[in-house]
Amino acid sequence: MMEEIECKPPTQLIVEASISSTDHPKKNNNGEALSPSCSNILTKIHAGYFRISLSLGCQALLWKILTQPNGVSRDVLHVFSKLPSTACLLLWCLAALTQISLTLVYVLRCYFQFDLVKAEFSHHIGVNYLYAPWISWLALLQSAPILLQNSSLLYMILCWTFIVPLAMLDIKIYGQWFTTEKRFLSVMANPTSLISVIGNLVAARAAAQMGWKESAVCMWSLGMVHYLVLFVTLYQRLSGQNSLPTILRPTFFLFFAAPSMGSLAWNSITGTFDTTSKMLFFFSLFLSVSLACRPFLFKKSMRKFNVAWWAYSFPLTFLAMAAVEYSREVKCHVATLLMLLLSVVSVLVFLGLMMLTAANIDRLLGGTDDPILAFCKNKKSNAGATTK
């Protein structure tokens, strides 16, 4: 009997050993442990998510322009003057909170997941969204409440803090377009490349509002010249099917966002909505109507909600802001109706995206069909395999 007991295998010891051999938590590049939820968020949130805060900041800027006492006509001004200042302030606070939150998350991503950030920089689409955080800050700064004056020292310091990184990105990316063989513009060009143009034009408007006219003209000319080059390049070869992923087709709206912002920036530089601003506004209006007449182009990209949908919002807001300035200059009923139509469309699209984002927050943070995210993961896995 004793011999039978002694011959029994130590099954309990084997079970305990298997329980104790659990997986270790993921670590960052510096060897520090990360919780699974934190690691998942830092992996998912890339620079493209700043389209959300950019849309919020631009919408706050539109509301600020509409409530300014430089009205279009007395009746329209009376309607917009009824907008409570508290609503505009709350919208700006929401934009500021979103921008600060995304910035903190992205700073943590740079620290804990720097390999993914480097992968973004090497991606022909992801690199363009590195402009988005700085554009968002500039839009937020220009839409700030009246307490932050354009001529104040704090405004100037913050403005140049956000403009300098844009100029550094210009030197890096624009230089690669005509000096690096693998990154020639004919190879790298896609609709998201227009974000760099928008960044220069937003910076030009901010510099003009501070009174730095020469710097504003410099940024404006840099942006518009590259817009012409990009437009011709994309106009000649863009098929709409295999030049960029289907999920990113909302970025076609960037085609009219750039000239709309160009007209606004030139209006701030010259102090009047002159012929140049009108030409850019009419061109952006034509491009927007041309895209609106082709809804089937965006049919496949609208099947599942994703962060790329926010590319619909801020281009429409830029166009609405340009329409406001145009109607103030022309002062006719047709211009006023056009301004009202574009403003209403911009607000409705913005509110719709807000509700869709709130209803699909899990899909927004957990989607696996993002081409930038997929490229970053493959790049990181390949780098890990190489080091092994």
pLDDT digits (tens, 9 = 90+) for 9-52: 444 433 333 333 334 444 555 555 555 566 677 788 888 899 99
CA–CA separation, 64 and 146 (whole Å): 10
Least confident residue range of 10-24, 282-296, 301-315: 10-24
Amino acid at 58: C
Q: What is the mean pLDDT of residues 126-151?
A: 86
**Best CA proximity match to 143, nearest among 216, 71, 56:** 56
Is the model's pLDDT at 54 over the cut of 90? yes
Q: What is the mean pLDDT of residues 237-248?
A: 65
| pTM for the model | 0.83
Q: Which pLDDT value is given to residue 87?
A: 79
Among the residues of the chain, which ranges form H helices?
Answer: 2-7, 11-20, 36-44, 50-66, 74-81, 85-112, 114-122, 132-142, 153-179, 185-188, 194-209, 213-237, 254-270, 275-292, 313-330, 333-359, 361-366, 371-387
Q: Which pLDDT value is given to residue 131?
A: 94
Amino acid at 323: A
In the numeric block, the tokens 């910035």 are attached to: 103
CA–CA separation, 184 and 109 (whole Å): 29
CA–CA separation, 356 and 312 (whole Å): 13
CA 328 to centroid of chain Cα atoms: 28
Is the model's pLDDT at 183 over the cut of 90? no
Is the model's pLDDT at 166 over the cut of 70? yes
Q: Which pLDDT value is given to residue 35?
A: 53
Is the model's pLDDT at 221 over the cut of 70? yes
CA–CA separation, 164 and 318 (whole Å): 23
**Token duo for residue 134:** 């700085």
Q: Which pLDDT value is given to residue 12?
A: 45
Q: What's the half-sphere exposure (Cβ side, CA atoms, 13 Å) at 317?
A: 28
SS3 of residue 158 by DSSP: helix
Q: What is the mean pLDDT of residues 111-139?
A: 89
C-beta atoms surrounding 239 within 10 Å: 7
SS3 of residue 387 by DSSP: helix
CA–CA separation, 278 and 182 (whole Å): 38
pLDDT confidence bin for 262, thresholds 50/70/90: very high
pLDDT confidence bin for 376, thresholds 50/70/90: low
Is the model's pLDDT at 241 over the cut of 60? no
Least confident residue range of 200-204, 266-270, 291-295, 377-381: 377-381
Query: How does pLDDT run across 325-359, given as a tens digit for each residue?
Result: 999 998 888 999 999 999 999 999 999 999 999 98
Q: Where are the domains of the chain?
A: 44-361
**Best CA proximity match to 284, nearest among 265, 298, 270, 268:** 265
CA–CA separation, 112 and 126 (whole Å): 19
Q: Which DSSP category does 295 fall into?
A: G
Q: Classify residue 330 by burial, with Cβ atoms within 10 Å: 0-12, 13-18, 19+.
A: middle
pLDDT confidence bin for 379, thresholds 50/70/90: low
CA–CA separation, 264 and 259 (whole Å): 9
Mean pLDDT of all residues in the chain?
A: 81
In CATH, what class is 44-361? mainly alpha
